[in-house]
Structure 1
Amino acid sequence: MTRSREPSALRQSLHIVRPHIGRHWKLVTGGLIALLLEVALCVLEPWPVKFVIDSVTASLGATLPPGSNTPQATIGLLLACGALLVALTAGRAACSYLSTVAFALVGSRVATDLRTRVFTHVQVLSLRYHAAARSGDTVQRLVGDIGRLQEVAVTAGLPLFGNVLTFFVLAIVMLVLDPLLALVVVGAAVAYLLSSRRSSRAITSASRTTRKGEGSLANTAAETLDAIRVVQAYGLEHTVSGAFRSGNETALREGIKSRRLAAGLERRTDIIVGVATALVLAGGGWRVIDGQMTLGELVMFMMYLKIAMKPLRDLAKYTGRIARATASGERIAELLDEPIEVFDSPTARPLDRSMGRLTFHDVHAPDGYGRPLFAGLSLEIPAGQNVCLLGPSGSGKSTLVGLILRMVDPSSGSVRIDGTDVRDVTLRSLRGQVSILLQDSVLFATTVRENIRYGRLDATDADVEDAARIANAEEFITALPSGFETILGGRGNTLSGGQRQRIAIARAVLRDAPIVILDEATTGLDPSGRSVVEASMETLTRGRTVITITHASHAVHRADRVLWLEDGRIVEDGSPAELLKSPGSRLSNWLAEQETTVRIRS
């Protein structure tokens, strides 16, 4: 099983980066040309040394093999050979520099393109995926794994191509010079391949486990930092640190195993190269004594051997990196293979500003875990109606809202806005018809002004300030150190809950959408903060279609209509007054429980 999986993992890694390499074909072509020139200069570099040694030995009276036609050494010849060697070395160094820079640039740009592609893909995945995925591991794939994949794709992969090309060219040259000694080089390459084959599989397996462990560590760290108040308040530092330490030690063990295997392969390669060098040195020396080759040819052959063995050493050195990067590539491929469940159809058109009439017709849809929830749900919400959704957890309230926004699509049936199926319009225009306000308002680590402007990106500064004024947020914003230009902390945690909600309301006001969704928007606020937020929400919702998910009894009395959901079915539907006339209604029982709870608390 492992044997069949790892080559596939390498192909996966190369497959996901290949389209991005093609975009930078000019740099790749330039790098390859420089690489080919470097190989050519490597082939020529030993020749000046051969001429010098053979000419000097001829001048000293040594007998050279017949047909060598080597001139005797002169000052001019020696200086010319020295100058030629310097020129060849300098040219090879320049070509190496150019190819290295070109490949490094390609690698950085490919990594940037791929990271953008993966991040874009993750953003459009359904809520079902995000509900199950762990954000720390996803971030680890986006940042760490793509960086490692860069190594196998370009930084290591393309130079290795040059090394392999150099080896084959020099092997051919050595076969022409001395076929018998060249067999030693071929034998060394075969020995390396046999040695590396088993090691690379083991290194990849260990690297895969290491990367998964590091992903789990990232999850633990992200979850701990997001919930740091709870961790500190409940004294969970030691418990969380213990879990982190355990995962850290597991990742460390696998990482050490991977590097130990890679180091073992490198040392075995050193031994193979040493044995090959010794055989060529002894065999070549005997052939010089026997008159089969000149001393200069032996020295040139040894230089070729050294150059030809460098690719083997580099392959051994890069095998560990390639194996680790392949494991990372596998994780990136898994992320890109996650299907996009909600997308624009080829015929999707922009949705004009709607009145806000919502229609659910025979809707069948699963819950967030993929289990059946709605089975034939039909519902009509007129434009401008204020609807309150009630019901136990898991009854389908959030799923119903998700269907309007196309966070999920029904498996059958339809959801319509003003008679238009939401699947027939573009996601951007559809979601532009809706403002949503959540219990935990999401703010970003940027200025207050930009947080509000996210409601409508083309809004002017005056529009932003007007929205803040309508949302009763202007007073506390201007009191901040830099006013609207104050940069908020992560998730807006430098503000109180009520302040965050009012900025979120200002953002919704700026959006000016005909449909407003309020999901537990005042839960957790103190009475004074809630009253200010509710006043702002009154302005936001006036004249719009409003869908409120709440467990607050005061929100029910302001609604035009109450829908009670259980197990994906609407079991009560009517105005609050109508439903409260029936003492046995679920709404009556629920409100009675709420009042009892309030009395007990007071």
Structure 2
Amino acid sequence: MSRDPALRRGALRTTIGIARPHLRSHRLLMAGGLVALLAEVALRVLEPWPVKVVVDAVTVSLGADRGAAAGQPPATPALLIACGVLLVGIVGLRAIVQYCSTIAFALVGSRVATALRARVFSHLQSLSLQYHAKSPAGDTVQRIIGDIGRLQEVAVTAGLPLVGNIITLVVLAVVMTVLDPLLAVVVLLAAAAYLLLSRGGTPRITAAARSSRRSEGDLANTAAETLGAIRVVQAYGLEHQRVRAFDRGNQKALAQGVRSRRLAAALERGTDVIVGVALAAVLVAGGWRVMAGAMTPGDLVIFTMYLKIALRPLKDLAKYTGRIARATASGERVAELLDEPVVIADRPGARALGRVRGDLLFDDITVYDGHGRLLFDGLSTRIRPGETVCLLGPSGAGKTTLASLIVRAADPAAGAIRIDGVDVRDATLASLRGNVTVVLQESVLFATTVRENIRAGRDGASDAEVEAAARRSRAHDFIVQLPDGYDTVLGGRGDTLSGGQRQRIAIARALLRDAPIVVLDEATTGLDPAAKAAVTESIAELTRGRTTVSITHDPAGIRGADRILWIEQGRIVEDGAPDELLARPSSRVSEWFRTSLREAS
């Protein structure tokens, strides 16, 4: 993840930049909110004037006969009532337009956050398996949910009030200069003092907030990792160990969060002192000018009220600096996700494949693993349509990597994988993957109904087609015995089912997909004999008449193969029919087969 100083200096610009593309479609709503905001500022400027009129009128009625107040009209019941009604009207109207502006910008914030979250999630799904293997899932989820949520919250609770107050400050600076240029200097001095104070404090608050968000992401990852492996944690009695790990992360996140809030509180209290000094200066100097007849008591009151309103942005800047800093740190974290390059994507001019025959060619490919080590160098082999090929070899030989190239989970550094003579990089990803079905050792099911899990193989399939696929995979009988049959909602990852049941639902999903190429990656490993027998029958139904690439360590799994490829040290060292290779006592396949049978017995 990027920690570039330039990115940090432009953190706010980066945060605004990721939201800007989603703002264009809400320009009308934003314009309405801005109009309401400007109306609220205008009403805020008008609000003190009824008070000024009343104060000056009362002053004259009490006997003021000199100075600027001498020419003011005296207080009368009609005047007082009119000023009271006017003040209520201004306050009421200001509340209405403020409500409208808040709602308008809240809607924009919610819609932009929703669109941004969808954009980030879509981008994440397009990133390579290598990225997901290296990136902690808990921290990634924290960025999608927590960080984007914080951006939305701060935009409404801090950004909107801040914009309104800054506009108010500019307007009131002009008005106060017209009323009394000398006292208006106090506002400028207070603003300058705040800028000096915040210049040193704001970067430290932002840095602390960034560390706090990073610690919270690490904490989320610890929690996700523990809960995802809860069976292992409980089986090995690791609860106390994981609690200690979580507590360390929790305490670190707490310390960083407290530091951020402490710095923000110090800035806020320092700003309160600046505002207090500015008010005292206006009271002293303003009182002196009233005594000298240069301004009326009402002028002093309205100027003091304006000063408090004008200095509110300074207080709000201090108040919201912590929130804005944390939001900026969140924006950086979201931007880092969006900056991750999409390695596997459609080439310009990529064409959609129709239904392929299943002729696979690995054409002189060179592949590196996730650590940059050479895995295959110039490997070539062909798998004919309808042929079943088993990939065998020692652990780490690259069997799964080789199979994953078929669906472009990764691309070779050199050479090509061709299907029916077409380089897979020249085909659209959707059409390529639509021609391939993958069944993994740990088939992951989603926390939805059994029906929808099977229908994931082909969106839009009818209920009858779903049930037919389940019957072919030998899953129908146990499905109908579930509490709600096909409408039973499964637990996360399908953990409410046995391994064999999950695998048969996954095979039903693959059958519904009806792709001409099948990739099996240890599909029967870890199953008990009865479950393995049922799954093996389902696999036989799935692979009948289809090009099949199977990775297996099950001796029984090679019997139905047309060919076996033994992969070792980046090359194919044995290639032949099972019976042929097993008949040669010196072959690696034969040696592996004998060893496997001894271990099984």
Note the C-alpha offset of 1:516. 0.7
> Of 417, 420, 425, which residue of structure 2 is paired with 1:418?
420
Superposed, 1:81-480 pairs within 5 Å as: 81-480=83-482
Q: Distance in 2 between matches of 1:370 and 1:453?
A: 38
Note the C-alpha offset of 1:72. 2.4
State the match for 2:486 in structure 1: 484
Deviates most, 77-86 or 173-182: 77-86
Note the C-alpha offset of 1:107. 1.1
From the superposition, tell whether residues 2 and 590 of structure 1 become closer, same or farther in structure 2 (CA, over 3 Å). Answer: closer
Secondary structure at the residue paired with 2:67?
coil
Q: Distance in 1 between matches of 2:270 and 2:221?
A: 38
Note the C-alpha offset of 1:114. 0.6
Note the C-alpha offset of 1:590. 1.0
Note the C-alpha offset of 1:429. 1.0
TM-score (norm 1): 0.97
Q: Contact 2:69 / 2:296 at 8 angstroms: preserved in 1?
A: no
Residue type of the partner of 1:333?
A
Q: Contact 2:435 / 2:517 at 8 angstroms: preserved in 1?
A: yes
Note the C-alpha offset of 1:3. 7.5
Output one character per residue of 1:62-94: Cα deviation in whole Å (capped at 9) or x when no partner: 134359742222222222222211111111111
Secondary structure at the residue paired with 1:156?
helix
Q: Distance in 1 between matches of 2:175 and 2:5?
A: 35
Q: Distance in 2 between matches of 1:454 and 1:425?
A: 22
Q: Distance in 2 between matches of 1:392 and 1:9?
A: 48
Secondary structure at the residue paired with 2:308?
helix
Q: Distance in 2 between matches of 1:162 and 1:208?
A: 27
Output one character per residue of 1:202-243: Cα deviation in whole Å (capped at 9) or x when no partner: 111111111111111111111111111111111100111111
Note the C-alpha offset of 1:8. 1.4
Note the C-alpha offset of 1:325. 0.8
Q: Contact 1:357 / 1:383 at 8 angstroms: preserved in 2?
A: yes
How many residues end up aligned between the 2 structures?
A: 599
Secondary structure at the residue paired with 2:10?
helix
Secondary structure at the residue paired with 1:491?
coil
Gaps in structure 1 of 5+ consecutive residues: none
Residue type of the partner of 1:37?
A
> Of 1, 13, 16, which residue of structure 1 is paired with 2:15?
13
Secondary structure at the residue paired with 1:490?
coil
Once superposed, what is the RMSD of the aligned Cα atoms? 1.5
Q: Distance in 1 between matches of 2:309 and 2:543?
A: 76
Q: Distance in 2 between matches of 1:157 and 1:568?
A: 57
State the match for 2:523 in structure 1: 521
Deviates most, 71-80 or 160-169: 71-80
Output one character per residue of 1:481-529: Cα deviation in whole Å (capped at 9) or x when no partner: 1100000001110111110011011101111110111100000000011
Residue type of the partner of 1:352?
G
Q: Distance in 2 between matches of 1:272 and 1:362?
A: 73
Q: Distance in 2 between matches of 1:68 and 1:585?
A: 116
Q: Distance in 1 between matches of 2:450 and 2:4?
A: 52
Q: Contact 1:361 / 1:379 at 8 angstroms: preserved in 2?
A: yes
From the superposition, tell whether residues 243 and 419 of structure 1 become closer, same or farther in structure 2 (CA, over 3 Å). Answer: same
State the match for 2:78 in structure 1: 76
Residue type of the partner of 1:552?
D
Q: Distance in 1 between matches of 2:120 and 2:7?
A: 23
Note the C-alpha offset of 1:110. 1.1
Deviates most, 360-369 or 387-396: 360-369
Q: Distance in 1 between matches of 2:365 and 2:570?
A: 10
Deviates most, 558-567 or 440-449: 558-567
Output one character per residue of 1:523-545: Cα deviation in whole Å (capped at 9) or x when no partner: 00000110011011111110000
Q: Distance in 1 between matches of 2:510 and 2:6?
A: 53
Deviates most, 185-194 or 319-328: 185-194
From the superposition, tell whether residues 80 and 324 of structure 1 become closer, same or farther in structure 2 (CA, over 3 Å). Answer: same
Secondary structure at the residue paired with 2:493?
helix
Q: Distance in 2 between matches of 1:562 and 1:2?
A: 50
TM-score (norm 2): 0.97
State the match for 1:57 in structure 2: 59
Deviates most, 361-370 or 78-87: 361-370
Note the C-alpha offset of 1:349. 1.8
> Of 20, 31, 34, which residue of structure 2 is paired with 1:32?
34
Q: Distance in 2 between matches of 1:577 and 1:525?
A: 26
Gaps in structure 2 of 5+ consecutive residues: none
Q: Distance in 1 between matches of 2:525 and 2:4?
A: 51
Q: Distance in 1 between matches of 2:68 and 2:240?
A: 83
From the superposition, tell whether residues 3 and 339 of structure 1 become closer, same or farther in structure 2 (CA, over 3 Å). Answer: closer
From the superposition, tell whether residues 19 and 63 of structure 1 become closer, same or farther in structure 2 (CA, over 3 Å). Answer: farther
Q: Contact 2:68 / 2:295 at 8 angstroms: preserved in 1?
A: no
Q: Contact 1:563 / 1:574 at 8 angstroms: preserved in 2?
A: yes
Secondary structure at the residue paired with 1:24?
helix
Sequence identity (%)? 63
Secondary structure at the residue paired with 2:490?
coil
Note the C-alpha offset of 1:156. 2.2
